[in-house]
Amino acid sequence: MSEKILVIAETKEGEIRNVSFEAIAAAKKIKPDGEVVGLVCSNDDLENLAQELIYYGADRAITVKNDNLKSYTSEAFGQAVLAVVEQESPDGIIMGHTSIGKDLSPKLASKLDSGLISDTIDIEIGGDQAVFIRPIYSGKAFEKKVITSGTPFITIRPNNIAALDRDDSRSGNISNVDVAIKDLRTIVKEVVRKASEGVDLSEAKVIVAGGRGVKSADGFKPLYELAEVLGAAVGASRGACDADYCDYSLQIGQTGKVVTPDLYIAVGISGAIQHLAGMSNSKVIVAINKDPEANIFNIADYGIVGDLFEVIPMLIEEFKNVAVS
Amino acid sequence: MNIYVLLKRTFDTEEKIVVSNGVIEEDGAEFIINPYDEYAVEEAIKQRDEHGGEVTVVTIGDEESEKQLRTALAMGADKAVLINTEEDLEEGDQFTSAKILEAFFEDKEVDLILAGNVAIDEASGQVGPRVAELLGMPYVTTITKLSIDGETVNIEKDVEGDVEVIETSLPLLVTCQQGLNEPRYPSLPGIMKAKKKPLEELELDDLDIDEDDVEAKTKTIDIFLPAEKEAGKVLEGELQEQVKELVSLLKNEAKVI
């Protein structure tokens, strides 16, 4: 009997998030011969989104459309997903380790009496058993974990398990499940957009981050310009947030976001250990700092010792030149 | 208000990590209150000062965790509870902790439970929401603002950089993060007072828990350190040349742009 894995997809601004496609690839990795069922919940029309899940490797897709699914709340989404889980009885569940994934997965796992392995960055298949690798101790070590009882449930960290190539010749069944969502005690009244230009830190391929060396809120302006040229997200060290140069929502580090972009450009960041905890697993790290002794140079792949207010404008020009050529 | 804080004693991850035989070496390491839990303790104290009531700090651990509980008492919490599992449990996971806490809260009148958003050691962020689910109460994670008006609770929650304004009601569980408040340091009089505050110690038996009922559903089979990173390249020459070289390296060597 082939096993079935449910992938709980997530939407952002009307599109499926990339991490959901990565979750489909993860499901395929765990059960290459299994059936992958994608699930998408929203208040909007979902046919096209469900179709995307199939193009990215799902065998079929389920949609739950309900007015109460406009904004995510653990109560409404919990009810929607549990109804589908009840109907499908999957042998495993995967979703992204995103704001929603972190919030929803423990509730579902608790309800299902399941073990949950969060923030998986890699999967190894040893014999019959899937082994999940995840960072611990602020990214300074890794653990290998297995599920010993209950429905296996994992969340995957964005940007670590590659999604399959989109293949629009794929087809699969799309069905809708009606769920009565009721007894909601928590409502989202408003969403205040603070994240800049829609590039989300946790999924960003490129991040430009500033530290105390940026010196002021105004000092962040060139960083935003550089980010725009690169299609990057802007982040910050705790020092910069504490000094009010930018909002806490941008903080990367031990008490902040953990990111693993392809390219991390640390600008005026000394490289305190708390900051490294949030970004040291980035694939390529560039450091720009006036102080040649700054700790950040110890973990950077490439470093420039110099005044960031001179270097950044030059970088912006150079990246523009390269983009044109 | 009856306010509870879920607190965890954690390895200070600023320390160098040594792994031997697939286990992290704890000898000589520093242990601290999980930094996210400090936001929870601080917020609990502030809410109590505003609305009255009592703050109880709860932890699952061993005798060693008393130190972190005393610190929370010194910050201003009223009571502490140590659920000591040293003799009963070999291994546990987030399921285990949540089940134990469910049993602990069974006979308690609870208005508000605060926890850290995530612990910096195992970093799963599961226990708070799991406990809320087991107790049948709503929860909101990663909050940056909390105001309580009667039964109504208004919250600001960080969602990957955006802020969600949420309305919910007590009883409630929230998980706390940076931006919510600035945790205080214990004052000297606070430290003196903390020595006399009640610290209750419970074992699984006291909670009517059989260890089989809380058996972990996941297992760690190995722990390892990341591969050593090679020293990076600090560029040289005229600044303009360095910038050109950097962009070329990123394009042709690292292939990230």
**Cβ within 8 Å, pair B160-A263:** no
Encoded tokens for A87: 């109907």
pLDDT recorded at residue A100: 96
- The residue ranges of DSSP E strands in A9-75, in sequence order, are 11-12, 15-16, 35-42, 60-65
pLDDT 10s digits, B155-183: 999 988 789 999 999 999 999 999 999 99
In angstroms, rounded to a whole number, what is the distance separating the alpha carbons of residues A132 and A122? 6
**Cβ within 8 Å, pair A144-B222:** yes
Token look-up 């995307």 returns A52
| pLDDT grade for A306, boundaries at 50, 70 and 90 | very high
Q: Which residues of A touch B170 (CB under 8 A)?
A: none
The pLDDT of residue A196 is above 70? no
Query: Which of B16, B124, B139, B182 is the best substitution to test chain A (most A C-beta atoms within 10 A)?
Result: B124
In angstroms, rounded to a whole number, what is the distance separating the alpha carbons of residues A306 and A315? 12
Query: Which of A73, A131, A140 is the best substitution to test chain B (most B C-beta atoms within 10 A)?
Result: A140
pLDDT 10s digits, A57-80: 999 999 999 999 999 999 999 999
Asked if B31 reaches chain A (Cβ–Cβ under 8 Å), the answer is no
Query: Which of B6, B25, B169, B257 is the best substitution to test chain A (most A C-beta atoms within 10 A)?
Result: B257
Peptide bond into B171 cis (omega under 30): yes
Q: What is the mean pLDDT of residues A86-103?
A: 97
Those residues whose C-beta lies under 8 Å from the C-beta of residue B135, and which sit 6 or more positions away, are B102, B105, B110, B171, B173
The secondary structure of residue A257, as a DSSP letter, is B
Pairing of strands B233-234, A302-305: parallel
Nearest to B91 by CA among A24, A49, A146: A146
Could you tell me which chain A residue has the CA closest to the CA of B17? A140
| Chain mean pLDDT for chain A | 93
Q: What is the mean pLDDT of residues A250-268?
A: 92
Please, which residues 110-149 of chain B have a Cβ atom closer than 8 Å to chain A? 118, 120-130, 132-134, 138-142, 144
DSSP assignment of B66-101, as one string?
HHHHHHHHHHT-SEEEEEE-TTT-S---HHHHHHHH
pLDDT recorded at residue B202: 98
Between B184 and A127, residue with greater pLDDT:
B184
Question: Residue B181 in 3-state DSSP?
Answer: coil
pLDDT 10s digits, B39-98: 999 999 999 999 999 999 999 999 999 999 999 999 999 999 999 999 999 889 999 999
ipTM here: 0.93
pLDDT recorded at residue A197: 53
Asked if A277 reaches chain B (Cβ–Cβ under 8 Å), the answer is yes
H or E segment and range at residue B145: strand B139-149
Encoded tokens for A22: 């990565």
pLDDT recorded at residue A44: 87
Identity of residue B26: E
Q: Which residues of B touch A119 (CB under 8 A)?
A: 123-124
Nearest to B176 by CA among B5, B32, B59, B49: B5
The pLDDT of residue A228 is above 60? yes
pLDDT recorded at residue A198: 56
CA angle A287/A293/A296 to nearest 5° reads: 30
Nearest to A176 by CA among A45, A68, A65: A65
**pTM for this prediction:** 0.92
DSSP assignment of A162-190, as one string?
PPPPP-TT----EEE----------EEEE
